[in-house]
A and B are shown apart, each in its own frame.
Chain A
Amino acid sequence: MSKVGKIARRTFLIGSAAVVGGVAFGVYKVKTPYANPLEEDLAAGAATFNPWVVIDGDTITLIGPHGDKGQGVAHSQAALIAEELDLEFGQFEVSFGKPDKAYWNTAMASEGVPFMSTNQGFAAESMRSVMGGVMKLMGMQGTGGSTAIPDSFVKLREAGAVARETLKAAAAQKSGINTTALKTEAGHVILPDGTKLSYQELAPIAAGLDPVTDVKLRDPSQWRLIGKPMQRLDMLAKSTGTQAYGIDIETEGAVHAAVKVNPRQGGVLNSYDATTAKSMRGVQKVVEVTNGVAVIADNTWRAFQAVDAIDFDWGEAPYPAEQDGHWAALEASFNDDQLDSKWRDDGDVDAALATGKAITTEYRAPYVAHAPLEPLNATVLVEDGGVTVWTGHQLPRMLQQMVAAITGHDQDQIDFQNQYMGGSFGHRLEFEHVRQATEIANQMRGTPVKLTYSREEDFAHDFPRHPGIARAAGTVKNGQVEALDLQVTMPSVIGSQMGRANISVPGPDSQISAGSWNNPYGIANFRMRAYRAPELAPVSSWRSVGASANGFFFDCALDELIHAAGADPMQERIRLMDHDVSRKVLEAVAEMSSWGGQLAPNSGRGVAYVESFGVPTAEVVEVTNTPDGIRIDKVWVAADVGTVVDPVNFENLVQGGVVFGLGHAINCEITYADGMAEQSNFDSFEGMRLNQCPEIFVKGLENGNRIRGIGEPPVPPAAPALANAIFAATGQRIREMPFSKHISFA
Chain B
Amino acid sequence: MQLVVDGKKHDVDVEEDMPLLWVLRDELNIKGVKYGCGIAACGACTVHINGEAVRSCQTFVSDVDGPVTTINGLGTPDALHAVQEAWVETQVAQCGYCQSGQVMQAASLLAENPTPTDDEIDEAMSGNLCRCGTYPRIRAAVKLAVTKTQGV
Contact = CB atoms under 8 A, between A and B. Distances in A.
A696 B137 CA distance: 10
A247 B21 CA distance: 14
A371 B95 CA distance: 13
A241 B70 contact: yes
A237 B126 contact: no
A72 interface: yes
A693 B135 contact: yes
A90 to B, nearest CB: 13
Contacts of B42: 373, 682
Contacts of B14: 299
Contacts of A688: 133, 135
A687 interface: yes
A649 B72 CA distance: 25
A454 B22 CA distance: 13
A36 to B, nearest CB: 31
B3 interface: no
B108 interface: no
Interface stretch (A177-185, A417-425, A503-511, A530-538): A417-425
Interface string A231-274: 11011111111111101101000001000000000000000000
A301 interface: yes
Contacts of B33: 241
A690 interface: yes
Contacts of A215: none
A373 B93 contact: no
A371 B96 CA distance: 15
B25 interface: yes
B138 interface: yes
B37 interface: yes
A651 to B, nearest CB: 9
A301 B16 CA distance: 13
Contacts, number: 186
A535 to B, nearest CB: 27
Given A239-B84, A652-B137, A690-B126, A372 B31 contact: no
B97 A660 contact: no
A332 interface: no
B41 A71 contact: no
A250 B25 CA distance: 11
Nearest to B71: A241
B138 A690 contact: yes
A299 B27 contact: yes
Contacts of A375: 35-36
Given A300-B22, A690-B138, A239 B126 contact: no
A696 B72 CA distance: 32
A81 interface: no
Given A373-B131, A652-B134, A690-B122, A239 B92 contact: yes
9 contacts: A70-B97, A237-B96, A239-B88, A299-B22, A301-B22, A656-B132, A657-B133, A659-B135, A691-B125
Interface of A: 69-72, 231-232, 234-245, 247-248, 250, 256, 281, 299-301, 304, 371-375, 420-423, 425, 452, 454-456, 648-649, 652-653, 655-660, 663, 681-683, 686-691, 693, 695-696
Given A304-B38, A422-B95, A659-B135, 5 more contacts: A235-B88, A301-B21, A652-B91, A683-B39, A688-B135
